[in-house]
Structure 1
Amino acid sequence: MTTAAAPAGLRGNPWPAFAARRLARFAVSLWALLTAAFLMIHLVPGDPVRASLGLTAPAALVAAKRAELGLDDPLWVQYGHYVRNLFTGDFGTSMASGQPVAQVIGDRLPSTVQLAVLAFAVVVAVAVPLGVCFAVLTRGGRRRGAELGFTSVSVFVAAIPEFLIGVGLVALLAVGLGWFPVAGTGDASSYVLPVAALAIGPAAVLARIIRVELLSVLGADFVRTARAKRLPARLVYVRHALPNALTATLTLGGLMLTSMVAGTVLVENVFAWPGLGSTIVQSIVTKDYPLVQGIVLVYGVGVLLVNLLVDVVLGLLDPRSAIREA
């Protein structure tokens, strides 16, 4: 008895296996994140309930709070309740405010997302033309002075932490010149300094990488062929060279986006920005562990989703990556 052969389209299509591996990796990483966040409250030295209520809180109040949070149950029972509650949208209750953690996160998350997305848009808008410009100016070993200056400045700027850039911007542009608000949210001008603090370093890194990748692409055979056909220089750069250079830098861009999301923690505290970054610092100070736990989960899931999206986009732009893993 013979078995029917699989259709040629399915045999030759690497995408189902590629997607299955990526989703499996995402699921395992998500499980590890949930487990680490659950164990966080149990690995903290001392009693988190006692720490949040204060050392002078009556023992009866501490015991009641522990029972309310289910901390007296066996660890595996607590873990089961924790996972079940997460999938129903229940992140617990803030010990400091008594509000549902999901509500606090929902109120603060949009501010953090706006900040990170705007900063990433600025990074792309600045880094891509800057990297292309210096690649064109310095290709073939020309203008060594411009190349040295660009590399030195970009390396120096990229090494400065976001919070230090933020403090410098506040001192110079907010306090010194009075051009922008010092802190808080309001009109569009209040976004300028925190977005700049997040975007300046990554823009310098990405511009430098784009320049290096584009210089490599400009020496490829297909670019020389395009030039031999006497195509306009703008067409050679934009249609033929740049897409190949951007494909190589997409992974770095995804990593930058995740690091910028993490960087909001420090930048939000510099500018008193009402997002998750400033909230998690306040929660750590007040020992509000359920809120810390929920925010850590949100940040972690955000990083995992960005990495998954980058993998999928890379597979779409470069199908060879999916074929190689098939």
Structure 2
Amino acid sequence: MSTATARFADARRNPWVTFTIRRVGRLMTSLALLVTASFAMIHLVPGDPVRAALGLSASPELVEAREHALGLDRSLPDQFLHFLTGLFQGDLGESIGTQMPVADVIADRLPSTMQIAAIAFATTIVVAIPLGMAAGILTRHGRRRRLELTFVGSTGMVAVFPEFLIAVGLVALFGVQLDWFPVALKEGPASYVLPVLALAIGPVAALSRIVRVETLRVLDEDYMRTARAKRLPTRILYLRHALPNLLTSSLTLGGLMLAGLLTGTVLVENVFAWPGLGMTMVQAITQKDYPLVQGVVLVYGTIALLINFLVDVLVAVADPNSTIRES
């Protein structure tokens, strides 16, 4: 066996190499399915999308010209090949309604969506982990039963509320009745408050419930009993010994919530007239601008897949033994 072959065989036996190959393979497969589904979407819509977007009064010549410009008069395999070629070149096609490149529209609107999603995610992590830990510590061994029931009941109820209902409630209370914050458009720091709260309140409730359960589990572990027997200060006991062991599950769920926060922006942005990708998508659906819808769906799906991939990697780094073994 040559030296190169031996090195390759040794590399394949490395669990990190196996883990990386499997995760990248899953990511590539998921991306391929997403691209195929986003392409098929425009062809599965009943009727003629160009005619639907231009209106029934549009002349046949105009419809034919727009179909030719969009490449919809080609064969299906040729359209798919053209679509893939455009993707590798950063070309997502052209909007039917505005005749602007879809990539330009997305590049203009995506930063606003990412801003409120990122702030909402940071808010969720900063609030939910201390809240869940405090609830677990205070209600351990059946203590403070009333507090436990209140926490579990209230967080369970809030966690299942749709984001747009929370958004409407925030608008009614803080925007209309109290007039504390602006309720529409992106105008200064104050305009971020209500959209971020609408996105973060549900995930805070859901994540804090998980953190509380994990806190109760961690506090009953043998190494925690040993740490308590050493009479370590409370700060060191919880922050140095308990918190790191909570982060693996919290990181996994938090990453999945970040993907959910991005999809939640679709409705929340329309409640607050936020100039982001979510409002653009709803407007494109209303106007039957299917190439724009296709591009937005592709971007949302790609971001969600990349987030899940990064979460897998971060969890593997935080807890390599169990993660690599399970992979």
Give the TM-score taking structure 1 as reference length. 0.96
Residue 202 of structure 1 corresponds to 203
Change (3 A) 1:171 1:255: same
2:99 and 2:73 map into 1 onto residues whose CA distance is: 20
Report the alpha carbon displacement of residue 12 of structure 1 after superposing the two structures with TM: 6.0
Report the alpha carbon displacement of residue 13 of structure 1 after superposing the two structures with TM: 2.9
Partner SS for 2:239: helix
CA deviation map 1:230-258 (0-9, x unaligned): 21121111111111112122221111111
Are 2:12 and 2:18, in contact at CA under 8 Å, matched by a contact in 1? Answer: no
Structure 2 counterparts to residues 231-250 of structure 1, below 5 A: 231-250=232-251
- Note the aligned Cα RMSD (angstroms): 1.7
The yes-or-no answer on 1:306 pairing with 2:300 is no
Partner SS for 1:40: helix
Residue 174 of structure 2 corresponds to 173
Report the alpha carbon displacement of residue 7 of structure 1 after superposing the two structures with TM: 9.1
Matching residue's letter, 2:152: T
Residue 20 of structure 1 corresponds to 21
Partner SS for 2:95: coil
Partner SS for 1:73: coil
Residue 322 of structure 2 corresponds to 321
Residue 127 of structure 1 corresponds to 128
The yes-or-no answer on 1:83 pairing with 2:96 is no
Residue 67 of structure 2 corresponds to 66
1:251 and 1:121 map into 2 onto residues whose CA distance is: 15
Residue 159 of structure 2 corresponds to 158
Residue 183 of structure 2 corresponds to 182
Partner SS for 2:34: helix
Partner SS for 2:185: coil
The yes-or-no answer on 1:102 pairing with 2:103 is yes
Are 1:166 and 1:267, in contact at CA under 8 Å, matched by a contact in 2? Answer: yes
CA deviation map 1:113-148 (0-9, x unaligned): 001000011111110111111111111221111111
Structure 2 counterparts to residues 261-300 of structure 1, below 5 A: 261-300=262-301
Partner SS for 2:130: helix
1:99 and 1:8 map into 2 onto residues whose CA distance is: 51
Partner SS for 2:314: helix
Matching residue's letter, 2:111: P
The yes-or-no answer on 1:225 pairing with 2:226 is yes
Matching residue's letter, 2:103: A
Are 2:94 and 2:100, in contact at CA under 8 Å, matched by a contact in 1? Answer: yes
Q: Count residues with an aligned counterpart.
A: 326
1:277 and 1:126 map into 2 onto residues whose CA distance is: 25
Structure 2 counterparts to residues 5-16 of structure 1, below 5 A: 10=11, 13-16=14-17
Unmatched 5+ residue regions in structure 2? none
1:306 and 1:312 map into 2 onto residues whose CA distance is: 10
Are 2:139 and 2:147, in contact at CA under 8 Å, matched by a contact in 1? Answer: yes
Matching residue's letter, 2:199: L
CA deviation map 1:59-93 (0-9, x unaligned): 11111111111112111111000001011011111
Are 1:166 and 1:193, in contact at CA under 8 Å, matched by a contact in 2? Answer: yes
Percent identity of equivalent pairs: 60
Give the TM-score taking structure 2 as reference length. 0.96
Report the alpha carbon displacement of residue 321 of structure 1 after superposing the two structures with TM: 3.4
Residue 148 of structure 1 corresponds to 149
Matching residue's letter, 2:318: L
Matching residue's letter, 2:66: K
Are 1:112 and 1:264, in contact at CA under 8 Å, matched by a contact in 2? Answer: yes
2:159 and 2:140 map into 1 onto residues whose CA distance is: 23
